[in-house]
Structures are given as structure tokens and as C-alpha cells.
């Protein structure tokens, strides 16, 4: 997976920079997501990994995408096809979205709790996290029955364990030292 990310990063960065320059971040996001979903289709994925010529691969892939993508994205995909990088398209789309989130100062936060959070709780949590992380927050809330009480909050590399189990573990460590 890390090799695929390494291959995809320069393409994603180039796509993001071009879209930013053109003022078409949303449009490129939609088109790259669509092209990535086409590349993930089982039939297309097996075709991309076959020994078809670059010209044939490009022609078929762009034919499947049809009018869902504009000329700029078609040219972008042609470059990827010439370098035999179309299988990396889902990773390119994912990295593009990461560049976009960084540009927009947004972060997706995964919140796990013992019970479903009420709207008021989600709003309060979102405001507190915005203040702490200095970013716009998108909450993904889920219920984890293994949690007795409290929350586990994951925002990128940051993990906040506010569960009862986590507090008891920290207390036990403090008492032992």
C-alpha cells in the first residue's frame, strides 16, 4: 500500500495544484472520485492489469468514463495511462481529498462511544474539537459496545481516549510508579 501511495502522491499533488489554479476543486474531486470508482470495478481492474497496449487501455478507460469527466481530467488520465499508473487512481483520489481537506483546514474525526450521541452532544463536541484542533470538524460517530463509558476520539494521528477503561489504565500506571 505504501508503494501505491508513493506512486499516487505526485499525481494527486499535480491534480490538486491544477484544480486550485483553475478554481475547480469541487469539480475535480467529483471527477477523480468517479474515475477512481471506475478503476476499482472488477472488470476494469482486471483489464488494467492485463497486457493490453497503452493506447487500447486509455481508449477503453476514457470510453467507460464518458462525459462524466472533462478534457483536463481526460488529459490527466492519459498521462497516468501512458505511465501505466491507472491502477493507482483510487489512491490518487484519496490523496487529492487529503490535500483538499488540508487546504480547507478540515479534519474528519472518528468518535466511538458506548451509546449513540445526541445532536446537542455532537454539536458541543464539534465546537470543542474545532477550538482544540484549529480546524473545521467533520464528525463520524459510531457506537462501540466494548466501551463501558466515555469516548475514543481519533483525528488523524491524534487519539484521545476518554473511556473509563483508559482512565482506569492511566490510574493503575500512576499508582504503580
Q: Which DSSP symbol is given to 69?
A: S
Alpha carbon 1 to its chain centroid, in Å, reads 14
Q: 2-102, what's its fold? A: Peroxidase; domain 1 (1.10.520)
The tens-digit pLDDT sequence of the chain (177 residues) is 567 788 889 999 999 999 999 998 999 999 999 999 988 888 888 877 776 677 788 888 888 888 888 999 989 988 988 888 888 899 999 999 989 988 888 888 999 998 999 999 999 999 999 999 888 888 999 999 898 888 999 987 889 898 988 888 899 999 998
Buried b (16+ CB within 10 A) or exposed e, 70-88: eebbeebbbebbeeebbbb
| Gap between the Cα atoms of 69 and 61, Å rounded | 11
Residues paired with 151 in a beta bridge: 113
Contact 35, 65 (CB under 8 A): yes
Domain extents in the chain: 2-102, 106-176
Cβ atoms of residues 142 and 112 within 8 Å? yes
Classify domain 106-176 at the CATH topology level. Glutaredoxin (3.40.30)
The whole model's pTM is what?
Answer: 0.70
Burial class (CB in 10 A: 0-12, 13-18, 19+), 154: middle
Amino acid at each position: 500500500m505504501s508503494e501505491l501511495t508513493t506512486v499516487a502522491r505526485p499525481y494527486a499533488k499535480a491534480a490538486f495544484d491544477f484544480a486550485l489554479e483553475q478554481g475547480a476543486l469541487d469539480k475535480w474531486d467529483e471527477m477523480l472520485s468517479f474515475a477512481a470508482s471506475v478503476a476499482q470495478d472488477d472488470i476494469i481492474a482486471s483489464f488494467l492489469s492485463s497486457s493490453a497496449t497503452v493506447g487500447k487501455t486509455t481508449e477503453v478507460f476514457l470510453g467507460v468514463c464518458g462525459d462524466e469527466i472533462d478534457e483536463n481530467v481526460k488529459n490527466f488520465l492519459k498521462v497516468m495511462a501512458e505511465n501505466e499508473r491507472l491502477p493507482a487512481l483510487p489512491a490518487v483520489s484519496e490523496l487529492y481529498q487529503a490535500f483538499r481537506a488540508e487546504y480547507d483546514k478540515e479534519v474528519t474525526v472518528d468518535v466511538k462511544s458506548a451509546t449513540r450521541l445526541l445532536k446537542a452532544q455532537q454539536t458541543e463536541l464539534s465546537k470543542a474539537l474545532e477550538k482544540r484542533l484549529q480546524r473545521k470538524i467533520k464528525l463520524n460517530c459510531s457506537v462501540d459496545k466494548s466501551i463501558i463509558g466515555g469516548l475514543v476520539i481519533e483525528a488523524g494521528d491524534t487519539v484521545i481516549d476518554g473511556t473509563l477503561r483508559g482512565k482506569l489504565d492511566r490510574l493503575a500506571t500512576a499508582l504503580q510508579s
